[in-house]
Chains A and B, each alone.
Chain A
């Protein structure tokens, strides 16, 4: 098991290196080259001379490979993601300020998704082709076809301006622990994010459980006289857990992307809003830093999913050892 984890860690690190190479190289292809942000930063002071000086100040006079090595050196050995062009802060400073907010949003949505989608999928599979099943499928398909921001706006209309009056905006610009002291403001954003991922995951769960229910061991269990509930939760759920864990790990990028939109709709200053603001103001180091960070979180999520998979399913461990 230890060798398996170490091997996956090394793999993830290699992937991360390539992600950094790509994100670092992309600015070379932007319109106007890597010096393009200088015009946005310097504004009316931009002329050939000041732009050149700005470039030298940011190490842009070095060749590509040396710049990349410096960047890698700083990121890997000093945890230094650079300095924002626009805000007078280091990128790490910006990230450490906003990352707890986004992670809180995404994590609580993930936990709620698991708590709702798994039982929903199982019940749909158990009562296959019933009215309940068809309704849930229809709703899931509807949610899936809808852009995430539209769902947020409709939720706002009904639950904040309409039938009941929940806060339309989570507590902002205060210490991160506001999420515990003032949880009411988080109901709508977390509900939106959860609904969006429940739509997909519950469908997947239904399919997986349906696949498991036709297996021989389920028939054996029924023949032994096990109750329906015991069959579903002891035999079907356990065996369906593997694919579900993988899918949950793979759905992390979508979750972070969804958090970006939801932060924007609910005006909640987290990583997403910072990314968009940085994007609008051509603050390249900030966008790069956040992209690398979110990739790291995604990779870690996938890694955790794989390790968990190895724990619940002994066959995978054996396969890896013999391979």
Chain B
């Protein structure tokens, strides 16, 4: 069974960039959680990433409340907004960064405000659909891997088949059919992204069920349910956490792709992809600030989730070594 190209390639990328960490020697004593935090803290890059993601989430939750009428309720165009004092003819409201608007304006809205406002939807859909992806993929993969035999063969053929439909086309097809509301997008992105996770979890379960402690549990008469919940699931945690952070990054990128194609959320709701799409037509006229800040945000966010996932994997592995 070949892994999908994405997983393999990503594993290569991660192992290449975060090559020197020296984790595994610092666990020491304390409760499990303290040990894990100590290992996580060791990775400065992951710590910075965590700070960035937390600031982004806090900003998305809190910031729109400060600008209630402007960005939250229905995001109406505020005529008193200084964005409209732009000198660009024909494109009023797309002003370059200034002391008043640190990242400039996009069509009448302050970019920072828009970033945080649309972050609510992007992050919300991202996290929720990552949860959907993970629960589907983990259940499916564990069943397939643990029960094995004919069921495994059939389930894995289904995954192979779904993986042979290009993801973006499948996504577009389902969006046509189920609409573009917050809930529909969450479900659609969640349901089209779990195939890789299922494969990964199947492989992990297959290797875990051959371990001695599972054999011991079977000998002691543990039920299948108990073995899955108490023995296999906790030990697959590090893989799950890594897969989860990647699922989050993938979901947010997928949402951005959809938004950029004009199939994302509809105003007054925005996501980061829709924001880029709105900025893109003025960008072609030389308004660089409509794209650059969002680009930086995207890259930083996806890199951050990958680094955090990597550090968390280390933390979980150390916990396992200690036991």
Contacts and interface: CB of A to CB of B under 8 A. Distances in A.
A59 interface: no
A142 B300 CA distance: 9
Q: Give the one of A153, A204, A265 with max B CB within 10 A.
A: A153
A190 interface: no
Contacts of B276: 149-150, 153
Contacts of B9: 144, 200-201, 203-204, 247
A294 B303 CA distance: 30
B167 interface: yes
Given A153-B291, A279-B176, A284-B176, A290 B169 contact: yes
Given A206-B12, A264-B261, A279-B175, A153 B280 contact: yes
B48 to A, nearest CB: 15
Contacts of B13: 137, 140-141, 144, 200, 203
Interface string A286-304: 0110110011001100100
A74 B158 CA distance: 24
B283 interface: yes
A27 B176 CA distance: 9
B4 A250 contact: yes
Interface stretch (B33-41, B58-66, B97-105, B252-260): B252-260
Given A253-B163, A282-B176, A298-B164, A261 B169 contact: no
A31 interface: yes
Contact of B164 (A148, A153, A299): A299
Interface string B285-319: 01010010011001100110010000000000000
A251 interface: yes
Chain B binding surface SS class: helix
A10 interface: no
Residue in A161, A250, A256 whose Cβ sees the most chain B Cβ within 10 Å:
A250
B132 to A, nearest CB: 16
A153 B283 CA distance: 8
Interface string B173-207: 11111110000000000000000000000000000
Interface in A257-289: 257, 260-261, 264-265, 275-276, 278-280, 282, 284, 287-288
A294 B2 CA distance: 21
Given A137-B17, A280-B263, A204 B169 contact: no
B232 to A, nearest CB: 28
Contacts of B16: 137, 140-141, 203, 206-207
A175 B168 CA distance: 27
A15 interface: yes
Contacts of A302: 164
A8 B283 CA distance: 48
A13 to B, nearest CB: 12
Contacts of B152: none
Contacts, number: 174
A253 B195 CA distance: 14
Most buried by A among B8, B164, B174, B260: B164
A261 B261 contact: yes
Interface residues of A, number: 63
Interface residues of B, number: 56
Interface of A: 15, 18-19, 22-23, 26-27, 29-31, 137-138, 140-142, 144-150, 153-154, 156-157, 161, 168, 200-201, 203-204, 206-207, 246-247, 250-254, 256-257, 260-261, 264-265, 275-276, 278-280, 282, 284, 287-288, 290-291, 294-295, 298-299, 302
Interface of B: 2, 4-6, 8-10, 12-13, 15-17, 157-158, 160-170, 172-179, 249, 253, 256-257, 260-263, 273, 276, 280, 283-284, 286, 288, 291, 294-295, 298-299, 302-303, 306
Given A22-B161, A287-B173, A298-B165, 12 more contacts: A27-B177, A31-B177, A31-B179, A140-B16, A150-B299, A153-B295, A203-B12, A207-B12, A247-B9, A250-B4, A254-B5, A261-B168
30 contacts: A23-B165, A23-B173, A26-B174, A137-B16, A137-B17, A140-B13, A146-B302, A147-B256, A149-B257, A150-B291, A150-B299, A154-B291, A161-B286, A200-B5, A203-B16, A204-B5, A207-B15, A246-B2, A257-B169, A260-B261, A261-B261, A276-B261, A278-B176, A279-B263, A280-B262, A287-B176, A290-B169, A291-B170, A295-B164, A298-B164
Q: Nearest 5 CB-CB pairs, A to B? A: A30-B177, A257-B168, A253-B166, A200-B9, A250-B5
